[in-house]
Structure 1
């Protein structure tokens, strides 16, 4: 292939034989400066891009696992498209991470040649889903949070991050709306679907605190206008989350979802917070991530350095 990274891959039209119908891509980052902003630490920017890229990569893989399991063919296609959107975001963010760190690693190195401890995704992204209700509840939570974050990130001092975020806002708006429609459909449906949707929300709720728990890298880069402090997203998240749950008859009309600020207070690992929960941003993960990587990285591990 004639490209070395995700940026060039988007504009390579000379090798269309590898695609069923050609690429037809236009580069969403064409003309965007790739230089690092003044005063920004390379390692911190690389870590931040890994966080956001790993979230997208791992959630994308989880969604792909539902392509033959969704209730209808239309939903299998919808989940596949959401997964592809997230995979595209992951490619750009991991490529930016590799460029920022300056070690010569590309998107394939970062996606396929890291152990679980090297990943910085939220643990919520790697969690398996017991059924479709759990899937759409988790997708609603993650896409609501990610949309609020990307919307703010469009003003980042890093032009590359701002451009990636602007592209992602359009995609994640659909992801959130798709998940919200299903949460309402199931919650306000039959007694069985209501009970399953309620069980999914109740299982998910204690895990939402991780979304608003800032890592020192996020705080540091937010202070210089590059990143977003996730603690600032909670009010917007809670407003959207509450509205959807009320429409789904999962909350009384006058009730509001609980705040997670107290549970998410403090930075650092789970041990530093005084609890046993893994903290994905610090490289602590559930056993589910190792299972995902065994599947996702299987070919790359079996043929080290292979190109296809």
Structure 2
């Protein structure tokens, strides 16, 4: 299998038991944060750390919700299961990061507080993850771009100053390698398939491409923490270019989506699509506050 695909060997080489690298957080048999020191490291501002955890956690939470929407709607049953599991991976990452945000800001808020009781303007996710799923090709294109960029970022964050974020990234990079592999396989299949499938895949890339730049634009919080996503731009674009070329497609030339007053998702400025998504995500918790099951 490894000879058939450039990314397939990444999870095979993880050193974990068969299939373990693809388990969602919380559904496997080991805690990625077991034994990790949760004290805020010296020299790290707790408020900045909390804000950064919200950025990363909100990205994962919102894209997880979008992926789960494919359940019962994907082209094949196998893809419904696959996309649901990708969503669970991201949900697991979100849970750890949102919990860390509550530890870092000193409020003690938990993952449910952040997920269910914040308003739209309090979310810090990039706009790419909140747009509707569109057709299958659009969702594949979004997953390809997001997973490739986030995989590169998590490789860097595995040595981040905060041991909790570093542990989440070290575990998450294995899952994101599979997300990237999955999206790459479908990009190749659609791009090198029928004329219509190639047309839809090209259209998906063109539609999502303007949203990519936000992942490489440093926020002041990231700058203060010593994180510079801009350095990932060229290597990530090179990876994407190789996949797109192998699929017989072309890189879109569309410009980045304009910011509103110089602000975007990291500042709580979102598209019109986030509100309805949050309404669905939060409705049960808000209808039955404090309920347990």
Same structural fold, with TM-score higher than 0.5 when normalized by the shorter chain: yes
Q: Is the 8 A contact 1:238 1:259 kept in 2?
A: no
- Tell me the secondary structure at the aligned position of residue 70 of structure 1: coil
Residue 129 of structure 1, CA deviation: 2.2
Distance 2:69 2:27 in 1: 25
Any residues of structure 2 matched to 1:220-231 within 5 Å, and which? 220-222=224-226, 228-231=227-230
Q: Is the 8 A contact 1:242 1:257 kept in 2?
A: no
Residue 235 of structure 1, CA deviation: 1.1
Q: Is the counterpart of residue 295 in structure 1 residue 280 in structure 2?
A: yes
Q: 1:170 to 1:65 in 2, by over 3 A?
A: same
**238, 253, 266: which is aligned to 1:281?**
266
Q: Between Structure 1 and Structure 2, whose CA radius of gyration is higher?
A: 1
Q: Is the 8 A contact 1:213 1:264 kept in 2?
A: no
Q: Deviations over 1:211-231 (max 9, x none)?
A: 111110011101xxxxx3211
Distance 2:242 2:181 in 1: 12
Q: Deviations over 1:120-159 (max 9, x none)?
A: 0011010112200000000000000100000000010111
Q: Deviations over 1:235-276 (max 9, x none)?
A: 11101110110011112xxxx77697xx599xxx6303xxxx
Q: Is the counterpart of residue 151 in structure 1 residue 136 in structure 2?
A: no
Q: Is the counterpart of residue 69 in structure 1 residue 59 in structure 2?
A: no
Q: Is the counterpart of residue 57 in structure 1 residue 61 in structure 2?
A: yes
Per the alignment, residue 248 of structure 2 pairs with 249
Q: Deviations over 1:33-54 (max 9, x none)?
A: 1111111111100000000000
Query: Any gaps of 5 or more consecutive residues in structure 1?
Result: 1-21, 223-227, 273-277
Number of residues of Structure 1 aligned to a counterpart in Structure 2:
268
Q: Deviations over 1:62-112 (max 9, x none)?
A: 000001111111111110110000000000000001100111211100111
Distance 1:38 1:258 in 2: 44
Cα RMSD for the two superposed structures: 1.9
Residue 286 of structure 1, CA deviation: 1.0
Query: Any gaps of 5 or more consecutive residues in structure 2?
Result: 1-25
Residue 25 of structure 1, CA deviation: 2.7
Per the alignment, residue 191 of structure 1 pairs with 195
